[in-house]
Structure 1
Amino acid sequence: MSKRILHIDMDAFFASVESARDPSLRGKPLIVGGNLDDLRSVVSSASYEARRYGVRSAMPIAQAKRLCPHGVFMRCSRGVYGEASRRIQEILETATPHIQMASIDEANLDITGSIHLFGDEEKLARHIKNAILEQERITCTIGVASNKMVAKVAANECKPDGFLSIAPGAERDFLAPLSVGKLPGVGPHAKEALENMGVMTIGRLATVPEPTLKRMFGEQGAASLLRAACGMGSDEITPQDQPKSISRETTFPEDLSDWRVIEPVVFRLAEHCAYALRSEGLEAKRVTLKTRYADFQTKSFAKTLSDPTALDVDIMAALRELFPKAQARRARVRLVGVHLSALSWNQHQMRLFNREKMEKWERVSQTVDTVRGKLGFDAVHVGRVLPDSKHAPKDK
């Protein structure tokens, strides 16, 4: 029996999450990534209403403004999308334990052994879609096939809020009439090169002699293109291992020199990192402050802790020691970031000294995390780190 791989892709994820949080945004051309005056920002997500005007992810905000001047522009809500993604992953786990997250808004699932529990593939997919819609009030698109590549293409073909299953053995026929640019990994340059050869469809690509493709894409590239064109791909689902690091960074709307403004933003990033650590059941032993100056020179300043931690107070204390090093180069600052590494699983071992104080901070963190889990990350702030709205960090 061939494997059955389900690919799920959240529809206009960031924009959909924002519309769920504020229903007045529904039906409007919503562009998430930056305000109208954020000239350095790019589009992170655009609602389907905005896409009708040609707005796309990774497009400069200035270009999106020209294409859709009446659009609703807003900055990313830090932490909100990651929390929604984790909740969605919990829903996916009700269908199968075999999950591989491809990004914050995409995942591949091996549903081979779970289909019989729901009756058929469509009922399984409907279970997932209904649960996400009921809990998060957003839609998703699902494709099912014998491998990850074809399942992803199937999902792309039925967006938004669709479902498409490709039967085993029908992969090549499904792909054949599609534009060659719809193959994952075929970017604009490769698409143009193939079309210049007269290769417009995936079906035509499957008939091109391999030596011809080798001259253009090399041996490995040619082999990969031909395999994909024939509907062949990996069906291995590899769950994520423990991350090697956790980091957050933000670019300021304008270069800053006042560290009284910069420091609270860094602390806010540290809060996000610490929350992510605890959510994953991890601790960090190394804290790094990243600083990019106005001349684009980037410096990193690190401190190794005596004990691993997942507490905001410990991470912020390390950052306070690093601030003078970053300030020594008396230059305006364009970007700051916090990077936690040397990660290990949290063993909840209290230190010999200051045990009572650490227990207090553990209790505080647990309470804060509980509130954030119910109301969102921004429901609770550590008093010292409240940034003013103008310089509040954006997702990066």
Structure 2
Amino acid sequence: MSSVNGYVDRVWAEGVAGWSLAPRVLVSVNGTALGSVPCTNRRPDVQAAGLSADGVVGFRAPLSLASGDIVRVTTPQGRPLRHSPWLYLPPESEGWLPVSLASRHPEYAEIAVLAGQLALTRFRPLFGQPGQVAAVKLDAGEGPRVACFGVAPRDADHLQHFHERVLTPAGVACPALHHRVGLGKRQALIFDFFPGRPLDRLGPGWEAWLPAVMDELARLQRFGEQHRHRLRARAGRKRPLLHRLLRRAMSDALRWNRARGERRFLLWLLARLVRLPRVLSHGDLHRENALVDTERGDIALIDWDRWGYLPIGFDLALLMRGLPGDTAERLAGGSPAQRLGVVGFTYLFQRLDRPGLVDSEEGRALRRRCRELAGVE
């Protein structure tokens, strides 16, 4: 994940609202641009989080939406805000749309093609999750499934192998991969439908689900240790976000105007993080990839195409991104190596997300804690 651009907080029949650090945002509905909207409303919550100096970052745009309309909000540079695109569905729809709508709507073109090969009755787009994903209701009593579109055949082979050889025998909580459907040069992967919401959308108290997610990570790590000899040479088809984070930090450390003390600390921290024990990891475990069914008390982890053997603590730091370092360390617990990984990667994420962190008291506290944990290790 890149640095924070802003969020779409709410979409309703008459409008869209959120915030962005850009002076203006661009709003479109069903691919048609409606114009730019200034970010001039005061948002004390964004200011209190340290993401804006004055908090004047909010926007609100009037709309007139119908069931199935898709709202996109981007910065002027075309970077989408979190939770964009957003599908508008009135409560009476229960989230489902008739398949007949797909052929008349360019946003759902792949659903229409899939409907020609499977006995679909209705579909539920799940925008806001990684990739182009939709739930589809199948006939013949199969119940709902999730279709992930636009997958290259080699990537599909790799992911199917990981599900069959790792996730299923390890018993990791994730939707089962049922079959693949060819759609031209790309494929759609059909998974079980998990009736949950992303951890990021549960609101205050989402941290209560962290122990359940950590149990699944521990199960994955134990399986990875037992089968390291045959898994080590493999990895997900996409590179983990770890590589992008480390490259960004190294580039920042070598900038000519970087303060000597911060440069020295960054190089020191990077050297220790890359030497941490490597464990079998999800590789992209932000909170949109952890689903929670609050009624049944179940969880599921999705989007496994960045898996690999990564430094211990990386998955947890990404999952808890945005929490203060001391809170993340307390919730993660574990060995000194794991705590160093959580705090160290939290520092790297916080540097991206919070301008001015380096010179803040929290930044100084995080650097002190990293050194203390390295000493313990």
Indicate the structure with greater helix content. Answer: 1
**Higher relative contact order structure (alpha carbons within 8 Å, sequence separation ≥ 6):** 1
Indicate the structure with greater strand content. Answer: 2
Normalising by the smaller structure, the TM-score range is: under 0.3
Please give the TM-score of this superposition, normalised by the length of structure 1.
0.21
Mark the structure with the bigger radius of gyration.
1
